[in-house]
């Protein structure tokens, strides 16, 4: 279950928006994710925001080109998204 914990991933959210998040837990049917600040706070034991589960088909490997394009507000650019193994 924890094989992906801490990895950055790209998730497809409501309305088709793509977001960069960190994995808290991965299951065969879903992946729980959260933002960097929330992940770091939970790692320190500070509690905070609960991770949000996404169906596995909406979670992808964080391709560096796509992450950069998202950071620059360009969507995912021309990057091909690969499902999280």
Residue 19 sits in a domain whose CATH number is 2.30.30
Residue at 26 is within a domain: yes
Specify if 50 maps to a domain.
yes
User: What residue numbers bound the domain in which 22 lies?
Assistant: 2-71
Give the three-class secondary structure for 35.
coil
Tens-level pLDDT at each residue, the chain (85 residues):
458 999 999 999 998 899 999 999 999 999 999 999 999 999 999 987 899 999 999 999 998 888 888 888 888 866 788 999 8
Residue 54 lies in a domain: yes
**Domains contained in the chain, number:** 1
Instruction: Say if 37 falls within a structural domain.
Output: yes
Burial grade of 6 (CB within 10 A; 0-12, 13-18, 19 or more): exposed
| Residue 8 lies inside a defined structural domain of this protein | yes
């Amino acid at each position: 279950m924890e094989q992906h914990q801490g990895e950055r991933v790209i998730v497809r959210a409501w309305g088709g928006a793509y977001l960069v998040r960190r994995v808290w837990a991965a299951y065969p049917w879903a992946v729980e994710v959260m933002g960097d600040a929330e992940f770091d706070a939970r790692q320190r034991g500070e509690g905070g925001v609960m991770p949000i589960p996404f169906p596995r088909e909406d979670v992808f490997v964080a391709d560096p080109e796509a992450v950069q394009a998202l950071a620059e507000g360009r969507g995912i650019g021309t990057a091909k998204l690969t499902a999280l193994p």
